[in-house]
Structure 1
Amino acid sequence: MAAFGTLNGPAKLNAVSSLLDKLAQDLESNKLPQNERDAALEELKIYGRDPRNSDPIFTRRGIETLTKHAFNNPSTTTSRNALRVLCNALLLKPETRQIFVDIVPEAKACSQLKNDNRDDEFLISRLIFLTTYGTNIDLQKLIDQHGLAASVVGNLARHAERSSVPRSNGSQADPMEEMALVETLKLVFNVTQFCKQRVESFSAGIPHIITLLRNISPPSAQKPLDPPFASLINALMNLKFNGKDVEKAFYPDDEPTGVADSLVDLLDRSTKAYGDSELEHTVTPLVCVISMLYEHAPAPVREAMQSKLLPTDEDRQGVLGQGDNLPARLLRNSTNPLTPELRNAILHLLFDMSDKNAEIFVRNVGYGFASGFLFQNNIPVPEMSKPGDDRGAGAEGAGGRAFNPITGQFLDRENLPDLPDMTDAEKEREAERLFVLFERIKQLGVMSVQNPVEQAVQEGRFQELDDDEDDDDEDEKGNSSKTKG
């Protein structure tokens, strides 16, 4: 006799059909002993993990039979066994999701989600999460008429409360605790993504998510956004960061920068830990959440965030973006061709931290990093300025110390090449080349500039050479020079 759940091929198909027939008949007769009913569901769950030769599970009759056992049976054990089979079915066969939506008792499902039980939370949250893809499920109805948002917020509150209780030495966390939390957070993201008109129904969950972010021990340094951290961040993505309770959670009176510090530290570790293949989908949501946090933050919190995310005077000892601290890594990723979403998120964050002012933005990150973002977003590019000039993007840092507006490096720290002085003829050719270049730039309208040769004439710094001086140059250097700037 074959071991429990090990059949394959036609034998497996016959076993699955027989099990579903037994469960369907039991719905009418209710004569099957509970231990036999639960054993049948357990065997069906094992067979259903592989859709091959498990076809009866994925039919309307199969889904309907399992749904009735899941929501109409008074036994919690039977209910959860049936829910597990349903979860596997909806995951493996997307076409079963609409069947489930058509027959599921919505009120009972949302009511069961209120139970203070991690198995129920995990299973019901996963089922509703799966039905947000490829079905006509009415999420607004679930929220307005069946209390979906209230049930989800209640589960988040319980997770937050448990995370605040110190664990005794040596005690292990219940694995279902984290699994249920992750499913709840995934559900928050999808519902707020696909039912934006009811996003504010989940705002009450924000303080609980923040509590969890601060109480849960961080994952390993190699994967700082491993579960549940990535899910906690994603759950905040679509929520509204306003309202007194939300602001109190983000900027508590006793430690207003605490949440911001935690998120920035998480960003610091994440940009070190993940390569290009993971940065895009893993770190981008974190940058977006930090941007939203900054947008609503009071001035002291904004200043603290700027001090950690924008280049400092120490960074300007070299070319910006070439160091190994967080601002340098952000700047490098802002031009990373392999992470377009992350690149865009970083530049928006840095632009917001520059008061959404193009001149301050260029001053903060250098024209080299800023120009592409400004062009892409149709923001006028500020006029480049000379060191010591207060116009345009500015080229002076704190204390009036001049820096290169292109690279952001302090001018007195630049290593300039030791080249011989140009001859007058070389200067003339360079002036002519620059004159043509700047005239083309003006005609293209790329940026507002004044031709430096034209400016030199206006300021009296343009000198015509005498004929004698010209002859001397020919005799001595074999070149003729008409101008000297």
Structure 2
Amino acid sequence: MVKQLDRPRSGGLWRIFSSPKGQQSHFVETEIPSMANKSQLSQAAMLSGPAKLTATTGLVDKLTRDLTSVNLLPHRLSERDAALEELKVYGRDPRNADPIFTREGIEMLTRHAFDSPSSTTSRNALRCLCNALLLKAECRQFFVDLGYEAKVCNKLKNDNRDDEFLASRLVFLTTYDTDTKLEQLIDKYHLADSMIKNLERHAKYHSDGGRVTADPMQDMALAETLKLLFNITHHCKQKVPSFTQAVPHIVTILCNGSFQVDKPLDSPIGPLVNALLNLDLGAKEVQSSLYPPAKLTALSDRLVSLLEQSRAVYQQEELESTVTALIGVIQMVHGHAPQDVVVLIRQKLLPTEADRKEVLGRSASLPSWLLKNSTNPVAPKLRDIISNLLFDLSDKDASRFVENVGYGFASGFLYNKNISIPQNASEAFSDDAGSSSRPINPVTGQFLDSEQHSDVPEMTEAEKEREAEKLFVLFERLRANGIISVENPVRTAVEEGRFEELPDDYREDVD
């Protein structure tokens, strides 16, 4: 299991492909407190040091005794819920709240969460429990050791968004730093079936054009289910087929959902994209959802639109953790698409004639943005996935790849993949290649008649000799330091007689 919880993980992917940084550190506040006096909760939030520790200890003891002696009788249910709400306030900061984060404290909260006949008490305890597992890694194993897997999964069967959010969050947190048996949750307790059913409910909700007001709890529960789906399918790959039926619902929500977000890949849109990443998009039973007959490009258009929006919003340092997953999903959708969809995706993502009026990668278009980031030094995973996408868009053919993106962008990728590179860049361009008959510079990808030639005078022979000497020295230093192991090209040229030693009194003829 992953040993960090500071940011959503990627498993190679989720930590990179998740929604905005810090989202996972949010505490569970899914509804306004109703059982406890608000002024009392405000006072509790102000406590610190020994006073907070004393108050926390008292509440934990009181709630623990209630489990055995029924100290808080059913008719005094509001008192029990008020105690849990107050405890939740203390549990937001683990300092001087130690009793909450002990094995005994976690057991007390778990029993109130899953053994109470009151749904209100259960949810109040679940909020405390989720916050505790978020803040203290050891609490996750404490919870797993209690053996409440069946009851957690049963909670997900409820047609209730609070229960979906809290139970999904709880299972999600146990995928870090614990020995929880994900395969058993799926096979024995039908976790996948419950999650797919919840996604079906969300799809129906977002397909209902008659909705008047948005329900924030819907989006919160949806995001938590999607995050859990990603983690399970990453860590339990043998059970990915159990979640294939989730694909149509995710696609429906992604294409039909209307979300109020500040950035295009904010939750729940980012998690919707991420969730597709580990699923089998090649499965026969989901093809009609990915490419609906009524509009074959519905999904691909939505994904490319998100990419277009994202490139204008996210800063360089954000791209790796936000956009990489989106490009990975576009690559998967392209890989399984019918020919009509393939053609349209390529038209939007490969350089156009307008892009070739300049050196490729310099215009303001989406294809140029992709090319520029295919060599992004601060986003290695992003640049790799972009290069792989562009190679796929070129039918995985080296010559066509060079034709599409230029020898300059293509050569490094092909070399790293150990794919044969055309000996001469111009060999990659056949007479009928490309969308135009205008000659193209095979290295830069620019139309030759659009190139601007420098007015700088040609170097003199003496200047050329000095530059050759500098190049010779540079290669010798690189060889001596072990950075490269190739033969010095200047030395080779001299040995082959392609360099002429000029006398010291040589003067170049000047017309």
Q: Distance in 1 between matches of 2:128 and 2:508?
A: 95
Does the 8 Å contact 1:67/1:104 carry over to 2? no
State the percentage of identical aligned residues: 54
Q: Alignment partner for residue 414 of structure 1, among 451, 455, 465? A: 451
Q: CA shift at 1:105, angstroms?
A: 1.4
Equivalent position SS for 1:192: helix
Computing the radius of gyration from Cα coordinates, the structure with the larger value is: 1
After the TM superposition, which of the residue ranges 400-409 and 134-143 deviates more from structure 2?
A: 400-409
Q: CA shift at 1:7, angstroms?
A: 3.1
Render the CA deviation track for 1:96-148: whole Å, top value 9, x for unaligned: 00000000411111011110101100100001000100000000000000011
Counterparts in 2 of 1:19 and 1:361: CA distance versus 1, 3 Å = same
Q: CA shift at 1:445, angstroms?
A: 9.6
Letter in 2 for 1:41: L
Letter in 1 for 2:450: R
Does the 8 Å contact 2:141/2:178 carry over to 1? yes
Q: CA shift at 1:167, angstroms?
A: 4.2
Q: Distance in 2 between matches of 1:94 and 1:310?
A: 46
Quick check: 1:71 aligned with 2:106?
no
1:403 match = 440
Q: Distance in 1 between matches of 2:156 and 2:451?
A: 63
Render the CA deviation track for 1:252-290: whole Å, top value 9, x for unaligned: 111111110110111011011111111110000000000
1:457 match = none
Does the 8 Å contact 1:199/1:238 carry over to 2? yes
Letter in 1 for 2:161: R
Does the 8 Å contact 1:219/1:225 carry over to 2? no
Equivalent position SS for 1:327: helix
Q: Alignment partner for residue 92 of structure 2, among 14, 26, 49? A: 49
Render the CA deviation track for 1:437-481: whole Å, top value 9, x for unaligned: xxxxxx9599xxxx9xx9xxxxxxxxxxxxxxxxxxx999489xx
1:200 match = 241
Q: Distance in 2 between matches of 1:415 and 1:8?
A: 69
Counterparts in 2 of 1:401 and 1:219: CA distance versus 1, 3 Å = farther
RMSD (Å) for aligned C-alpha atoms: 2.9
Q: CA shift at 1:13, angstroms?
A: 1.6
Q: Alignment partner for residue 130 of structure 1, among 153, 156, 173? A: 173
2:35 match = none
Does the 8 Å contact 1:383/1:392 carry over to 2? no
2:338 match = 298
Which fold has the larger relative contact order, with Cα–Cα distance below 8 Å and residues 6 or more apart in sequence? 2
Counterparts in 2 of 1:73 and 1:383: CA distance versus 1, 3 Å = same
Q: Alignment partner for residue 165 of structure 1, among 188, 208, 212? A: 208
2:363 match = 323
* TM-score normalised by length of structure 1: 0.84
Q: Distance in 2 between matches of 1:400 and 1:290?
A: 30
1:281-430 → structure 2 map (5 Å cutoff): 281-386=321-426, 391-394=427-430, 397-418=434-455
Q: Alignment partner for residue 113 of structure 1, among 150, 156, 163? A: 156
Does the 8 Å contact 1:16/1:56 carry over to 2? yes
Q: Alignment partner for residue 35 of structure 1, among 66, 78, 100? A: 78
Letter in 2 for 1:53: N
Counterparts in 2 of 1:325 and 1:145: CA distance versus 1, 3 Å = same
Q: CA shift at 1:371, angstroms?
A: 1.1
* TM-score normalised by length of structure 2: 0.80
Letter in 1 for 2:272: L
Counterparts in 2 of 1:35 and 1:347: CA distance versus 1, 3 Å = same
Question: Tell me, which stretches of 5 or more residues in structure 1 are unaligned?
Answer: 437-442, 455-473, 480-485
Q: CA shift at 1:218, angstroms?
A: 5.2
Does the 8 Å contact 2:425/2:443 carry over to 1? no
Does the 8 Å contact 1:149/1:201 carry over to 2? yes
Q: Distance in 1 between matches of 2:65 and 2:288?
A: 56
Q: Distance in 2 between matches of 1:257 and 1:415?
A: 39
1:224 match = 264
Q: CA shift at 1:418, angstroms?
A: 4.7
Equivalent position SS for 1:188: helix
1:19 match = 59
Q: Distance in 2 between matches of 1:199 and 1:38?
A: 39
Q: Distance in 1 between matches of 2:104 and 2:175?
A: 22
Does the 8 Å contact 2:361/2:368 carry over to 1? yes
Q: Distance in 1 between matches of 2:487 and 2:416?
A: 15
Does the 8 Å contact 1:384/1:393 carry over to 2? no
Letter in 2 for 1:359: S
Question: Tell me, which stretches of 5 or more residues in structure 2 are unaligned?
Answer: 1-38, 473-484, 497-505
Letter in 1 for 2:257: I
Render the CA deviation track for 1:214-236: whole Å, top value 9, x for unaligned: 1122555x611111111111111
Does the 8 Å contact 1:163/1:216 carry over to 2? yes
Does the 8 Å contact 1:383/1:393 carry over to 2? no
Does the 8 Å contact 2:126/2:166 carry over to 1? yes
Q: CA shift at 1:246, angstroms?
A: 1.4
Q: Distance in 2 between matches of 1:208 and 1:140?
A: 23
After the TM superposition, which of the residue ranges 223-232 and 345-354 deviates more from structure 2?
A: 223-232
1:139 match = 182
Q: Count how many residue pairs are aligned between Structure 1 and Structure 2.
A: 439
2:197 match = 154
Q: Distance in 1 between matches of 2:40 and 2:188?
A: 46
Q: CA shift at 1:356, angstroms?
A: 0.5
2:34 match = none
Letter in 1 for 2:237: K
Q: CA shift at 1:416, angstroms?
A: 2.0
Q: Distance in 1 between matches of 2:412 and 2:148?
A: 53
